[in-house]
C-alpha cells in the first residue's frame, strides 16, 4: 500500500459522503444507466461486475465492457469498478487497467448465480477465506486507489461477523453488506435481513465505511434503513432498475420525481444512450432497461412489448425511436388528454406493513417497484403474509412459554 493512498473514511469524505448508491449489476449498471441514475439522485455508482481474467486478457471483452467515457470526471464520477475473480494476478492486471479512471476497485463476493458457482467467484468464494484475503490484499498493496468489497451473509450472524472482519483486515476500505443468503435469489429472494446488517454495523470498528443493500422500494426506505442500521449509505439494485426515482429522497412529495412517467424517463434514458454511442455496453443493455422501465405499461400495450422483443444489438436508434420511444410518448400523451386524468393519476399509500414501510399503488404509466410473482402470488404479499404469520407464532409462543431466567447465556426454565 502506498503511503499516500486514502483509507476508507478519507475516500468517503473525498467523494462527497455518498448515501445513495447504484449497485453493481451484471450488464445493468453500465455507463448510460449510471448517468441517468445520478440525475435522479444517486450519489455514487458501481460498474457492472466485470470478469477479471477476461478484462485482463481479452481486448474484445474490454472494449465491449469499457469505453473512453467510463469513469470520465465530468459525467461518471464518483465511480467504483467491480470485478469478480479467483486469481489474484489476473485481478490485479484488470484493476491496473482502470485505476486511473475510478475512485476505488471492488471485489464481488456476492453474486449468487449459477455461472458464479461454475466459475468459482462471487458468493461461491464464501468458504475460501484464504483466497478472499489474498485477492483483497493483492489489490490493497499494489493499486493506487483503495479496494472495497461487497458481501452476502451466512445463516449464522457470528460467522458473518468473523467473515466481515476478515474482509476488512485484508484491506477492504468500504464494506457493503447485502442482507441475503447466497441461496436467496430469483424466486427465492425474499426480504433482506436488516437485523444481521445492523448486528455487523454495531460490532465492526466504528470508523468502517459501511453500506447496506436490500429492501429499498421507495425513497423513504433509504432514510429508514440509515436510521435503523446506522450505515453510511444505502445501495439499491432492483429498486433502482425499475424506478431510478427511488434515489430522489429530496423530492418525496413530488410524484414526477419519485414515480416519473414512463414516457419521460424513457426519452431521457434513450437520449443518454445515444450520447454514449461509444459505449457498446450501454447499447446492449438498452433492451433490458426498456423492459424494466416499461414493465407496468406493457401489459396495456402489448404491441410495444412485441416491438421491443424484436430488437437486437444491431437495431438502429432510428428504429428504436419509431417503434418504441415515440409510441410510448403518444400513448401516454393520449392518457393525459382524458378529462378525468387528474383523478386517475394519483399515488395512494397503503397501511404500514410488518417490515416497517408501506406499499404504494401507482398508475401503470409511472415507474414503480416490481414484485416478482411465484405461483401467482407477488413477493410483496408473500413477504407480508410470512411476517404476519411469524408475529402470530411469536405471540403464541410467549403465551405458552414458562417463566425463564438466563443461565450461562442459555434459557433455563424456572420450576414452580
Using alpha carbons, list the distances in angstroms from residue 394 to 191, 374, 390, 398, 410: 18, 26, 6, 6, 18
Instruction: Please give the grid coordinates belonging to residue 79.
Output: 465511480
CA distance 219 to 202: 24
Question: Is 404 a known active-site residue?
Answer: no
Phi, psi of 150 (to 5 degrees): -125, 125
**Are residues 260 and 367 in contact, defined by beta-carbon separation less than 8 angstroms?**
yes
Please identify which of the residues 111, 225, 276, 367 carries the catalytic annotation.
Answer: 111
Q: Give SS3 for 404.
A: strand
The neighbouring-strand residues paired with 209 are 174
**354 vs 383: CA distance, rounded Å:** 9
H or E segment to which residue 49 belongs = strand 44-51
* Extended strands (E) in 279-384: 348-352, 358-361
Among 158, 366, 100, 134, residue whose Cα is nearest residue 244: 366
H or E element in which residue 329 lies: helix 326-335
**Catalytic site positions:** 111
Amino acid at each position: 500500500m502506498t503511503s499516500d493512498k486514502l483509507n476508507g473514511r478519507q475516500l468517503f469524505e473525498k467523494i462527497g459522503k455518498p448515501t445513495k448508491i447504484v449497485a453493481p449489476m451484471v450488464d445493468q449498471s453500465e455507463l448510460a444507466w449510471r448517468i441517468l441514475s445520478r440525475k435522479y439522485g444517486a450519489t455514487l455508482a458501481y460498474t457492472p461486475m466485470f470478469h477479471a481474467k477476461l478484462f485482463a486478457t481479452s481486448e474484445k471483452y474490454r472494449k465491449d465492457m469499457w469505453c473512453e467515457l467510463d469513469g470520465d470526471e465530468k459525467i461518471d464520477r464518483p465511480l467504483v469498478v467491480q470485478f469478480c475473480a479467483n486469481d489474484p494476478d489476473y485481478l490485479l492486471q484488470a484493476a491496473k487497467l482502470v485505476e486511473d479512471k475510478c475512485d476505488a476497485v471492488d471485489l464481488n463476493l456476492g453474486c449468487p448465480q449459477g455461472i458464479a458457482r461454475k466459475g468459482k467467484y462471487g458468493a461461491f468464494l464464501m468458504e475460501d477465506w484464504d483466497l478472499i484475503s489474498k485477492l483483497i490484499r493483492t489489490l490493497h498493496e499494489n493499486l493506487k486507489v483503495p479496494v472495497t468489497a461487497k458481501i452476502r451473509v451466512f445463516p449464522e450472524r457470528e460467522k458473518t461477523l468473523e467473515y466481515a472482519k476478515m474482509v476488512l483486515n485484508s484491506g477492504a476500505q468500504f464494506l457493503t453488506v447485502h442482507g441475503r443468503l447466497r441461496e436467496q435469489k430469483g424466486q427465492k429472494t425474499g426480504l433482506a435481513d436488516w437485523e444481521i446488517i445492523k448486528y455487523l454495523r454495531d460490532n465492526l470498528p466504528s470508523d468502517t465505511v459501511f453500506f447496506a443493500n436490500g429492501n429499498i422500494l421507495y425513497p423513504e426506505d433509504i432514510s429508514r434503513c440509515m436510521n435503523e442500521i446506522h450505515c453510511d449509505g444505502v445501495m439499491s439494485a432492483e429498486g433502482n432498475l425499475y424506478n431510478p426515482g427511488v434515489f430522489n429522497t429530496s423530492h418525496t412529495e413530488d410524484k414526477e420525481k419519485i414515480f416519473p412517467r414512463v414516457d419521460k424517463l424513457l426519452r431521457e434514458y434513450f437520449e443518454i444512450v445515444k450520447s454514449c454511442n461509444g459505449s457498446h455496453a450501454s447499447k446492449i443493455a438498452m433492451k433490458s432497461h426498456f423492459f424494466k422501465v416499461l414493465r407496468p405499461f406493457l401489459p396495456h400495450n402489448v404491441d410495444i412489448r412485441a416491438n421491443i422483443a424484436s430488437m437486437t444489438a444491431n437495431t438502429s436508434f432510428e428504429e428504436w425511436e419509431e417503434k418504441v420511444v415515440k409510441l410510448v410518448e403518444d400513448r401516454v400523451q393520449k392518457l393525459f388528454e382524458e378529462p378525468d386524468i387528474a383523478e386517475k393519476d394519483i399515488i395512494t399509500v397503503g397501511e404500514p406493513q410488518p417490515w416497517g414501510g408501506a406499499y404504494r399503488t401507482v398508475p401503470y404509466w409511472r415507474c414503480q417497484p416490481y414484485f416478482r410473482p411465484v405461483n401467482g402470488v407477488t413477493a410483496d404479499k408473500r413477504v407480508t403474509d410470512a411476517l404476519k404469520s411469524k408475529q402470530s407464532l411469536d405471540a403464541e409462543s410467549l403465551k405458552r412459554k414458562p417463566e425463564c431466567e438466563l443461565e450461562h447465556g442459555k434459557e433455563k426454565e424456572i420450576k414452580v
